[in-house]
Copies of this chain bind each other. A is one copy, B any other.
Amino acid sequence: MNREELFNIIKKKQSFLCIGLDTDINKIPPYLLDSEDPVFEFNKQIVDKTHDLAIAYKPNIAFYESMGAKGWDSLSKTVNYIKKTTDEVLIIADAKRGDIGNTSAMYAKTFFSTYNFDAVTLAPYMGYDTVSPFLAYEGKWSIILALTSNSSAADFQYLRDKSSGELLYESVLSTGCKWGNTDNIMFVVGATKAESLRNVRKFAPDNFLLVPGVGAQGGSLEEVAKNGMNSHCGLLVNSSRGIIYASKERDFADIARAKAVELQTEMSEYLKELV
């Protein structure tokens, strides 16, 4: 899926919502624990009730990995189920991988071939070599960590380079833009720094941004939309816990849908200026 196709789906669904599948066996409705694969069963019901509202699903790989091989099976079934249900969402592996050479090529193979993800989040510390094997896959996306929303983001991301005058996260944006194009590079930008989004747009005006941190992490959707939108929307705003764990009862998927509708309705207002 390229940028234009993504934008078309955004316009059609009137949404730029990404639903984070941070599925934790200890947090899902207890009645699901009797099913053969509780994690998959949970994801399946969330997908059934939200796929017309979501532009992307973002399984958080740590949650599956922590369960060992059976977690990877649940992940695989989830990706396949989403693919079977709709071709109008992007499936993002939130993996934050970052290695080089043949190792990086193995990670690209994992997410784009072994599992059929459309996009993967990547850490930029080791530079271009981290991203290049992922860019070799036509129609797939690399989503590079740029500015994150956690308190220790400032440990390194705000260091200012003496020769260019750029902050580290600004260098990641400007350099990352050159590694690929607006059809295969996105950036992760933390929503709790909504005022920084204006600055991000100076360095990456046209790329899509994946914005976590709306909802449970406290970011304001309005701020994000006001400061981060571009002509192609250019935003995928993620909510995880605020949607998927809104209820622990048997109606959890309906409640998740209601939460997703709330966000999608608000998003449709912000999209009015574009469409």
A residues touching B (Cβ–Cβ < 8 Å)?
Answer: 22, 24, 60, 62-63, 65-70, 72-73, 76, 94, 96-104, 106-107, 109-110, 114-115, 123-130, 145, 148, 150-157, 159-165, 168, 171-172, 175
Contacts and interface: CB of A to CB of B under 8 A. Distances in A.
Contacts of A126: 145, 148, 150, 152-153, 155, 157
A109 B71 CA distance: 13
A265 to B, nearest CB: 28
B60 A103 contact: yes
Taken together, the copies of this chain in the complex come to: 2
Given A68-B114, A159-B161, A62 B106 contact: yes
B62 A107 contact: yes
A123 B103 CA distance: 15
Contact of A161 (B62, B70, B153, B162): B162
Q: Report, nearest first, the 10 A-B pairs whose CB atoms are least far apart.
A: A127-B152, A127-B155, A62-B106, A128-B152, A69-B69, A159-B161, A100-B150, A69-B72, A66-B110, A129-B152
A175 B154 CA distance: 12
A1 to B, nearest CB: 23
Contacts of A97: 62, 96
A69 to B, nearest CB: 4
Given A156-B168, A157-B125, A69 B73 contact: yes
B168 A153 contact: no
A99 B153 CA distance: 11
24 contacts: A22-B103, A60-B106, A62-B104, A62-B106, A65-B110, A66-B106, A66-B107, A68-B114, A69-B76, A72-B72, A96-B97, A96-B98, A98-B123, A98-B145, A125-B145, A126-B157, A127-B154, A127-B155, A129-B150, A129-B151, A159-B168, A161-B162, A162-B162, A162-B165
A60 to B, nearest CB: 6
A106 B65 contact: yes
A159 B157 contact: no
A172 B160 contact: no
A145 B96 CA distance: 14
Contacts of A125: 98, 123-125, 145, 148, 156-157
A67 B94 CA distance: 18
